[in-house]
Structure 1
């Protein structure tokens, strides 16, 4: 494309307020009409060979591709529908809950950009999202063929995106959606406003479950280690900026085919990841659980108010013959105490200190509290408090938190000694 043509098309941005009054309303009433300049026609034909249909917005051109993946078998369809039903029947609040959201309104969403920062100089050039339909999974991808057509690019996306939709992303709350908001600011006089919507970020869930197990929670690692998805000849997302600049220089779609396929796989993997994490929460997973997964899910459910669900995961974690069983018994004890089951709470704390007496000072403190306040056994409470004190003093280097805890334990010991005369 000549410099003169590009400058002509950039007038849309330079005179947005003058040239686009009422444009959005008109386009919403009738579908866009394709009007190509000669310089755009050749590029549009190149993209059509790869499944991207061009559409116009004023004098701007953007590209959209729809791909459909039929269900491989009935089990694949049943898994996602069962997961959706479990959340729809779930009676507690939870960050992964999609209750009252129609399944086809969930958009598994990802973007490709020219950089990893969230500044104004970073441009989104590819938006992809997958929907779950009755017959299979539909993937829609919007491509920014030319930086001067950002209005058309975002308009096309917003035509597909509605108030009722619910985004499911991977780090989308911190990166992808702030990027969309930032780019929308530049063309907000030309395109519809950004709708309000719900948002599930699966990166937060992955970190909760697997940050202690995996070297990193990058989607590619989670895919391999937890979903059994192995990509071959994948173009990493880190190559996106270089490949897009090469495409702009040569206007050759071949440069972007790898990153387009990468984006397509990303959004479909989010569906599998959502099902996998949900199944672990509901004890539905066919894959083996790790003890730490049970502990982390139990903690998550406890924080969101599902105490019975948390209890189930803590009990399961405590049955593992592993070094983390002490932690499972300690968390179970705290939960049982919160639920008013003091007798079983004491059993859990006692089991905790039997497994790892020097690693769970807090369990001794909890036992001292129960003995003093529930059983009025000051001698036993004193013995537990002294155990906690000895454990803390035996540490080679105390953190600020441990130093404060040691001070509190010393006061507890002194108070109990007074009670004992």
Structure 2
């Protein structure tokens, strides 16, 4: 009987185990997770859950009973210490668990501030898991002063929740503009205006020099020489793939755990999916930090464990919820050289279309689901409508798919 062991009980690990069950896999499935709760959704953690609009059980991807009912052995609150590739076992909780196929869905780890600048003071938080959000929740008191370090989507989503809860919010971004690494100046402008309209103080081109306080953070010194009083700090300066376990086992690492088009690592009986894995795409090697990628890649690997020999072809899409705005992103904008702005049908709705020459690469759609859906279908189908057609508000979006 084939033994499949999955290390990492997040979105990718849960998707892979469920897919194997749906395909009537007859072997054993073991799912090992470091947290004390069954696999859960992460995106609502820092939004609806933190706002008190979603109960813990509603975060769960499946009821806890699902795993036993489907023959999945679930190891919670357990850390894998090592992988022995030669003997094909993982060491967890002092126990050697044998595998025929091992899947690493270890996810990512948030980057933290160095201790030398106050990163280890009490009251300094990152946003990643349930423990992080539960720890910071009591800080969200009306009128409290929060400093958010980092103007990417993590930082902006945290700022939106804090502003909605009535906190005094300052966000610092060391780059010239928020979202500089991931979005166009047009998208940055849209979200800057959105946040400032909700009272968030955004400081761009300003870094954090040091956090101050005796045991607990109470202030911050910024690179422009200014000083702030703060009650707590949220750090949103990106994530790194969780590769330590794979690297220690001798598995090849390249911008994450390196996998081939099937999802196999340098050891053909070890696979990787989700935030931790880098894979070949259009002549490059990329990682996609998104829920859809975690699910799709994991399900593809489940099929390949069953012998499908299927190449993973991602269809990148992402989303971000801030205040009453839902941003939906289709495609990857890497290498764009111009952006077409298209007003939406409703107040405040807009879409930004990224082109490289005449090729449509990506679409950012803010409260404009129609633009998102059309853009996604065009990109998935390899179609690129003329930019002047996209720019013309008289152009029927659906007609673009026939263009």
Give TM-score, length-normalised by structure 1.
Answer: 0.23
Specify the structure having the higher radius of gyration (Cα). 1
Higher relative contact order (CA 8 A, sep 6+): 2
Which has the larger helix fraction?
Answer: 1
Give TM-score, length-normalised by structure 2.
Answer: 0.24
